[in-house]
Each structure stands twice: as structure tokens, then as C-alpha cells.
Structure 1
Amino acid sequence: MRANRITANLRVADVDAAKGFYADYLGLSTEEFNMGWVARYTSPETGANIQLVTRDATASEDSVVSVHTDDVDSAYAEAQGLGFEIVRPLTTESWGVRRFLVRAPDGNVVNIVGHRA
């Protein structure tokens, strides 16, 4: 699998309440999206970003990072072939991504995501 970008998923109690610190103080002022339970904030100057997550709306566990890849189907097949625990199977979500969650050997849950072309 080839990772194109990795974004930290930071657990927060309330996305809107946390927004001021990350968007204003840290300079991650571009809100790429906000679905209420997850929002991504990015610096327009550097491209640095973070996702604020209250709780994953469609998965039983929360992930610590989101790994973006061009071929999520191959990444899923590879994870299965390597015997990694699949926490959430490959799914096309209503908001336009195809993703699955996999548990790393250290126990962290990783969100592997591909965007529809």
C-alpha cells in the first residue's frame, strides 16, 4: 500500500468548541469539511492539518489516524492477506469516501481511506 497523506484524528468532546484553538491559535484556518462529528482544519500556508473527532459515526471504534491512498481496494486486500484485524470492512460511505478500519499490531486503529474519483 502507498500512503499519500496521513492525518491525525484527535478525539474531542465537541468539534465546534475545540475549533477556536486549532483554527485560530494554531493557524489551521481552512475548514475542509465539518460533519458535526468530524471536521478537518488545514493551514492554507503550510498544508498542515488535523481532524477533530467526537466519535466515528459509522464504526464501532475510533481511529487515531487517517491514511489516504489512491487504491483503497488493494490496500484492503493486502491488509486481509497479511492477517491484520479488520475493525470495519471496506465500505463506501454516504459522504463520498471508500474506507476501512484496520488494527495495527500495536493496537492502534487506522482509518484507510480513498476518495471517489
Structure 2
Amino acid sequence: MTVLRIVANITAGSPNEVEKFYKDLFGLGVLMDFGWIVTLGSEERAVTQLSLMSEGGSGTPVPDLSIEVDDVDEVYDRATSQGCKITYELTDEPWGVRRFFVADPTGKILNVLSHKS
């Protein structure tokens, strides 16, 4: 048996309103839209991972999702210019990532990160 993918599901009263946040901030495209469910994605392929956490690191709460990007500074600049709620400022962490936390329109906390070179 092989796990082919893990999909994050976010409760949203109006999926189309939350769609804009993820499209604008992360450049995701619509893969499927049935009204009651909107699935966003990219053409990139990633290794399947599931993190089990007792804390979020550096004294932060456990985030709801972690999203790795190629340029965290660019996404941070986009988030601040769009007036997104930053809940943990852009930080270089001792375990080798640069990250920040941002709240999506449903209140989910996203850990947005890049691995430091």
C-alpha cells in the first residue's frame, strides 16, 4: 500500500471567498470547483508528509498548515501589502528555515516557510 497524496481540507462558509486569498497569496490555480468544494493546486509535485507536533517551534502554537515556498520573503511582502494578518513575524529559525505565520480568512494559521540555503 502506498499513500499517493494527503489533501488539506479547510471549512469555509463560502469557499469562493477563501479561494481568492490562496490564489492571490500563493498563486494557486483552481483544479476543481463544484461550488461547495473548491480545490486549488499547482503543477509542482512534492513528497507526501504529515507532521505531528506538540508545539510550533520557537514558542509558537501549532499551525494548521505548513506551506513551503521557494521565496518566503516574496510571499511575506505580498501578505503584508495585501493587509493579511501576520501572527508570527518573518524569522530565521535555528533549525534552518525562514518562516512567518499568517491567518487565512477562516482563521487557520499558516506556517509559510523556505529552507535556508
- TM-score with structure 2 setting the length: 0.59
Q: Distance in 2 between matches of 1:52 and 1:116?
A: 22
Superposition deviation, residue 94 in structure 1: 0.4
8 Å contact kept, 1:89–1:101: yes
Please give the residue correspondences for 1:17-96 in structure 2 after superposition, counting only pairs within 5 Å. 47-96=47-96
Q: How far 1:103 sits from its partner (Å)? A: 0.5
CA distance in 2, matches of 1:115, 1:48: 17
How far apart, in 2, do the equivalents of 1:47 and 1:56 lie? 21
**Residues 36-95 of structure 1, C-alpha deviations (whole Å, 9 max, x = no match):** xxxxxxxxxx93210111111314432111100010001000000111110000000001
**Which structure shows the higher strand fraction?**
1
* Number of equivalences: 76
**In 1, distance between residues paired with 2:116 and 2:100?**
14
SS at structure 2 position matched to 1:51: coil
1:53 aligns to what SS in structure 2? Answer: coil
The one of the two structures with greater contact order (alpha-carbon pairs below 8 A, sep at least 6) is 1
Matched residue, 1:116 = 116
The Cα shift of 1:116 comes to 1.1
Q: CA RMSD in A?
A: 2.1
User: Is the alpha carbon distance of 1:48 and 1:87 closer, same or farther for their aligned partners in structure 2, counting shifts above 3 Å?
Assistant: same
Residue in 1 aligned with 2:43? none
| 1:60–1:95 Cα change, 3 Å | closer
Query: Structure 1: which 5+ runs fail to align?
Result: 4-45
Superposed CA deviations along residues 19-51 of structure 1, whole A, max 9, x for unmatched, are xxxxxxxxxxxxxxxxxxxxxxxxxxx932101
* Separation (CA, whole Å) in 2 of partners of 1:65 and 1:86: 14
TM-score normalised by length of structure 1: 0.59
Q: Percent identity?
A: 32
